[in-house]
Amino acid sequence: MRAGAAGVSAARTVACIAALLVASGATPHVAGGEPPQPTPASVGVAAPDGVPDESRYVSREVPDIVVRTAAGETPLSALWREGPLVLTMVFTRCAGICSPYLRALLRADEALNLPDDVRRVVLSFDPRDTPDHMRRTGEHLGVAGRPGWVLGVAAPPDIDRLARALGFWFEWDEALQQFDHPALLVGIHEGRVARLLVGGSVTAVRLGEVVREARGQFIPSYPLPGEVLFRCFDYDPVTGTPTFAWGALVLLVPPLGTGIATFALFGAARARRRPAPAPSRSPGS
C-alpha cells in the first residue's frame, strides 16, 4: 500500500508540473528531446483528373500570408511588390515529384537567365517542415543565397487559405506516410493569380510565359492542361512574340480550297459563255 501511494503521489506531481508547463506556454518534450510533430492533414479537393482548372483561378486574389525563412519573416505582398513572383508548393519529406520538379524549375530558370527581380518562392505545405528544413533544401538544390530565391514555411491556417486560393490540394496517405499532390507553378502579379502551370515538368518556354504573365504582360496564346495539342500559334518567351504553328496551315486549307473551286467554276462558266468562232467563208461565195 505504501508503494502504491508513493506511485500515485509521483504521478500527481508529474501531472501538476505538466499542467504548469502548459499554463506557462511551454511545450513539454517527448522522449529523446524531440518536440511532438504536428499531425499532417489534407487540404482541398482534387479535380477528377487531379489537375486544377486554370480558368477558375486566374485573377483570383492571393492571400497575403507570412512566409518564415531561416533569415526571418516576410509578408508575401512584400515579395510580389518587388517584382514578378512565381510560387510552387512542396514538402521536404517527399519521395515523389518534389525534388525532380524543383530541379526542372532550376534548369528552366538557368536556361532563361532570369533577372534577379524575379522572386521564386518555394513554400512547404507540410506542418512538420521548419525554416531550417527549407534552408537545407535550398542548399541541396544549390540555390541557397541566390538572389530572388525564397524557401520557407507558413502557418497551417495560412497554407490552407493559400492552397484553396490557388487551386492547390494535398491529401495525406497514412499508409504511405506521404502527401498526394499535384505539381503546380503559379505566376502572381500584384497580388492576383496571373497564370497556373500544371504538370510534372517545367520547360524554359513555359516558365518564360509564367514570368511574363507575372510581369503583367499579355500572352496571346498557350495550351491549357488537358486540351488537344492542335493550336494555331506558339509563343517565344525570349522575344515575346507569337509565331504561327502548324495548326494555322490546316486552317488555311478550307479558304484555299474554296478559292480554287471558285476560280475553277468561274473559269468553266466563262468558257461556256464564250461565243463560237464564225465559220470561215470560201473566196467564191
Q: Where are the domains of the chain?
A: 54-219, 220-257
What's the start-to-end Cα distance of the chain, in Å?
A: 157
Confidence of residue 135 (pLDDT cuts 50, 70, 90): very high
Residue 66's identity, in one-letter code, is V
CA distance 182 to 185: 10
C-alpha cell belonging to residue 226? 488537358
Q: Write down the H helix ranges in the chain.
A: 2-23, 54-57, 76-80, 98-112, 131-141, 156-166, 204-214, 246-273
Residue 214 phi, psi (nearest 5): -70, -20
- Give the pLDDT score at 13: 45
The pLDDT tens digits for 172-206 are 999 999 999 999 999 999 999 999 998 888 999 99
C-alpha cell belonging to residue 92? 521536404
C-alpha distances in Å from residue 45, one per residue of 59, 61, 245:
20, 19, 36
* pTM reported for the whole predicted model: 0.66
CATH 3.40.30.10 correct for 54-219:
yes
- Give the pLDDT score at 30: 35
- Give the pLDDT score at 26: 37
CA distance 251 to 234: 15
Nearest residue to 238 (alpha-carbon basis) of 89, 67, 132, 108: 108
pLDDT tops 80 at residue 17 = no
